[in-house]
Structures are given as structure tokens and as C-alpha cells.
Amino acid sequence: MILNLKVWRQKDRESTGRLVDYVLENLNPHMSFLEMMDTLNETLVLSGEDPVEFDHDCREGICGQCGMMINGIAHGPLKNTTTCQLHLRSFNDNDTITIEPFRSAAFPVKRDLRVDRTSFDRIISSGGFVSINTGQAPDAHAIPVTHQVTEEAFDAAACIGCGACVATCKNGSAALFTSAKINHLVLLPQGKEERQERVLRMVKQMDAEEFGHCSNTEACEVECPQAVSVLNIARMNYEYNRALLRRK
């Protein structure tokens, strides 16, 4: 299998980047996309060139580090799939593939395909902690939680913080990410005590990071590898307005 790659190369955030053409031959269609990137880097190193830098960690669709734009689509052409779960069999022999970093003012490029996503970390840390009693674990039935609420909380908590929602949003909004992090706590009894201050702090931090505003195009849900629902954004807006009214 032969693939023609156009890969974004950028020395650092101050430098001007550009797309560089590479051709890889004798590729196995069953290779993962990141294995293909490893092959490219091995070729570059052997020829004395700098390898392409890209984020990755678990390579199992869990950590959310491997985000990149593949032919203009966050994580590539498959729905509900991270870049590391994408395989070359999703492409055709002799295809041209354009590979770029996630684009957002809040995600500055560090080098090549690596971006700085610490803005997400600051949003999470602004939420503070959950006030619960420590010690022996309570009985499983001590805190009643319905099955529906449990499922909704787990669905929100499924967010892996990859940033695909931001990269695919025309406004660069982090509303889906922030709402998922707010809602998986506010839905459960343990997270209700700080619900008011938590949502106010996290939304304030999201705005401080200069993410764009949500305009309900719902592109974020389409590109999310975990299919986190945009209904979380509606719930976040409810929690935010509720907190503002109660603060008054």
C-alpha cells in the first residue's frame, strides 16, 4: 500500500508552519494510523531528518492525546474513533492524506502536530474538589441513585479531553468538554454540594481561556470519539443560570 502524506511541519509556536510532502510505500493496511506515523518517523530519522512530533500515550482510545486533523476531520473519517484506533484500511491505495494539528487559538501549536491543551487542565482544576467524607467506603445502597441518572453521569464522564470538539467547532468552543466535566459531577449526589460555585468557576475559566461561544451547530457531538451528547451543553446552561439566580 502506498500513501502520499501532506504533513504539517512547524518548528515552534512562533515559526511559520507549512505542509511537507512525504511518500510511504509497502504499508500494511492493518497498521494503525499512529504506526504509520512511526514508520514515517523511522524513515526520517534514518535519512538524517527531524521526526514529526505528535501527541500519543495509551494508543487504546482512552487518554485522548493523539488528536490530529486528518483530511480536515478531527481523528479522521471514522465516527466515534480516536486517531490511534484508525487503521490504514480506512483509506485507499495511493490516497493523499493531509495531516494537521488541531486548530484553535486556545490550543497553540508547540511543534508539528503537537498542541498545548493545558487550557483544558485549567478548566478542570478551576472546578475544585468534591466535599465528601473520607474513610471506609459506604454501602453500595447507602446513596440511592437511579439507573437513568447513573447512565447520564457515565455518558458525560466518558469525555477523554482530546479536544476534537474544539478543533471541529467553527467558533472553537469548549462548551461540550466543559459541560461534560460539570455534568458528570452535578448529576450525582456527591457533587451537588458545590454545584453552584463549580459551574460559575468553570464557565468563567473557559471564557478566560478565550474559547469561542457555542452556536449550536452540534459539530462537536459528531466528531467526539466518545459521542458525548450536546444535551450536556443545555444542562450546563441550566446549571449556570440557576447558579446566577441563586447567588443573587
**Hey, where are the domains in the chain?**
3-111, 117-246
**pLDDT score, position 20:** 98
**pLDDT score, position 181:** 96
Q: How many angstroms separate the CA atoms of 138 and 141, rounded?
A: 8
Phi, psi of 3 (to 5 degrees): -130, 140
Q: What is the pLDDT along the chain (248 residues), one digit of tens a residue?
A: 999 999 999 999 899 999 999 999 999 999 999 999 999 999 999 999 999 999 999 999 999 999 999 999 999 999 999 999 999 999 999 999 999 999 899 999 999 999 999 999 999 999 988 877 767 777 777 778 889 999 999 999 999 999 999 999 999 999 999 999 999 999 988 888 899 999 999 999 999 999 999 999 999 999 999 999 999 999 999 999 999 998 86
**pLDDT score, position 248:** 67
Q: Could you please state the CATH topology (level 3) that the domain comprising 117-246 is classified under.
A: Fumarate Reductase Iron-sulfur Protein; Chain B, domain 2 (1.10.1060)
The answer to whether 3-111 and 117-246 have equal CATH topology is no
Give kind and range of the element (H or E) at residue 70. strand 69-70
Supply the CATH classification number for the domain 3-111.
Answer: 3.10.20.30
- Locate 176 and state its grid cell: 461540550
**Terminal-residue alpha carbon distance, the chain:** 64
**pLDDT score, position 85:** 96
Q: Report the predicted TM-score, pTM, of the whole model to 2 decimal places.
A: 0.91
- Locate 9 and state its grid cell: 511541519
SS3 72: coil
**pLDDT score, position 99:** 98
